[in-house]
């Protein structure tokens, strides 16, 4: 299976989305492709400033938080340290990113990250909050992030997209 996946995605990471014989990797380009291909319901606001805010939130998560506590990175860190130090590393970077994100959300959030419509920013937020929970990050300093995540987790689309409900999820992780 590993060799088959290398042919799909040489980085050997998820996600990989195969469409019309082409493979797209990385969450944000996949979301942007889907937005352009299936524009309704929109996941980017019409207003250019709000669109920029959505992309800013996506970048904070995708570039500033997620890679530093990604499983592959943490496995490498763990080889250099203990399990506890690995968890502290992840918590540190999640907290640092969430502090910035919470401040940004104070200025642009409504029911969701940017206003009252689900956007790409929300699609980036939910898995990152999931990682924060996995590493037992204290979410009390992040009431907006928590409130928005709670609202998103009520939506059927987010429930169906949960990694724990996917067919390839290991049995011991399924909720």
Cα separation, 6 vs 107, whole angstroms: 42
- DSSP bridge pairs for 24: 17
Contacts of 164 (CB under 8 A, 6+ apart): 173, 174, 175
Cα separation, 141 vs 148, whole angstroms: 14
Q: Which domain holds residue 15?
A: 2-40
Query: Positive or negative, the Cα torsion across 156, 162, 164, 166?
Result: positive
* Residue found under tokens 């669109």: 51
Could you tell me the CATH number of the domain that includes residue 12? Answer: 3.40.30.10
Same domain, 69 and 118: yes
pLDDT along the chain (175 residues), means of 10: 76 83 89 95 95 95 85 79 85 92 94 96 95 94 98 95 82 69
> What pLDDT sits at residue 175?
55
Structure tokens at 175: 């909720």
In a domain, 171, yes or no: no
Same domain, 59 and 106: yes
**pTM, whole model, 2 decimals?**
0.79
The gap from C-alpha 151 to its chain's centroid, in whole angstroms, comes to: 16
């Amino acid at each position: 299976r590993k060799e088959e996946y290398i042919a799909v995605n040489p980085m050997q990471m998820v996600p990989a989305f195969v469409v019309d014989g082409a493979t797209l990797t990385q969450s944000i380009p996949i979301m942007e492709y889907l937005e352009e291909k299936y524009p309704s319901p929109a996941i980017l606001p019409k207003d250019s400033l709000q669109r920029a805010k959505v992309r800013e939130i996506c970048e904070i998560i995708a570039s500033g938080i997620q890679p530093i506590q990604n499983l592959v990175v943490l496995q490498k860190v763990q080889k250099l340290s203990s399990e506890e130090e690995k968890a502290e590393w992840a918590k540190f970077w999640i907290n640092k990113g969430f502090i910035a994100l919470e401040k940004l959300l104070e200025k642009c959030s409504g029911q969701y990250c940017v206003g009252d419509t689900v956007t790409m920013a929300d699609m980036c937020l939910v898995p990152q909050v999931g990682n924060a929970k996995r590493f037992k990050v204290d979410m009390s300093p992040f009431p907006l992030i928590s409130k928005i995540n709670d609202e998103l987790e009520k939506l059927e689309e987010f429930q169906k997209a949960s990694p724990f409900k996917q067919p390839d999820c290991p049995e011991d992780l399924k909720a």
